[in-house]
Chain A
Amino acid sequence: AQSVTQLDSQVPVFEEAPVELRCNYSSSVSVYLFWYVQYPNQGLQLLLKYLSGSTLVKGINGFEAEFNKSQTSFHLRKPSVHISDTAEYFCAVSQSGGYQKVTFGIGTKLQVIP
């Protein structure tokens, strides 16, 4: 079985400040890891993904995440946020082989304060 824990349900941050959204996972097999973003009244959009290779993954809109196998973490970071980053962010994990069921976290709401 696999699971995802997003440690913060809401994160307020001032505009132009850095932000980190935390994600921990558990799985007995190798995994793929994802961050999705959901803007108000929209579906989920892929922000970035880790499949293999470099543990530092860069995504759209200046976001990046680092896969830490020993810590079983995949935290999302941005050095300077904008108002437009206000959204809900979901971490997800899937097995890297076989059935590849995907499990989503409960989401973290990022509120950027002007």
Chain B
Amino acid sequence: DADVTQTPRNRITKTGKRIMLECSQTKGHDRMYWYRQDPGLGLRLIYYSFDVKDINKGEISDGYSVSRQAQAKFSLSLESAIPNQTALYFCATSSGQGFTEAFFGQGTRLTVV
């Protein structure tokens, strides 16, 4: 099994719908992250969490929310999806010792029509 698992892997949704992307990890890491990848823009940080009670906005948090249900689970929600949220979304984890290495999920390809 993968260390970082994202579900779903692919999703098509309509404008205005609420959608949740889920991430779970078996690394035992405290820190979890949600990134968005767009062609030519690289990876941009949406939200990050250093533990269950510590959640922080990243560079591009508008239109998104997150929930850290447990150390191993970190969900990303799009409250009302819009077409420019069409992107590849990655969840990542790192140890509490600092960002010396991140482990990424395989990504969720989201299309908003």
Contacts and interface: CB of A to CB of B under 8 A. Distances in A.
Interface of A: 6, 9, 32, 34, 36, 41-46, 49, 51, 90, 94, 96-97, 100-102, 104-107
B42 A104 contact: yes
Nearest to B35: A104
Given A43-B107, A44-B90, A51 B100 contact: yes
Interface string B47-70: 000000000000000000000000
B40 A46 contact: no
B90 A94 contact: no
Interface of B: 4, 35, 40-45, 90, 92, 98-102, 104-107
B100 to A, nearest CB: 6
A106 B42 contact: yes
Contacts of A45: 104
B42 A105 contact: yes
Contact of B98 (A41, A100, A104): A100
Given A32-B99, A32-B100, A49-B100, A43 B41 contact: no
Contacts of A36: 104
Contacts of A106: 40-42
A41 B43 CA distance: 15
Contact of B102 (A6, A46, A96): A46
A43 B104 contact: yes
Nearest to B106: A43
Among B4, B35, B42, B44, find the residue whose CB has the most chain A CB atoms closer than 10 A: B42
Contacts of A104: 35, 42-44
A44 B42 contact: no
Given A32-B98, A43-B90, A44-B102, 4 more contacts: A32-B100, A34-B101, A43-B4, A43-B104
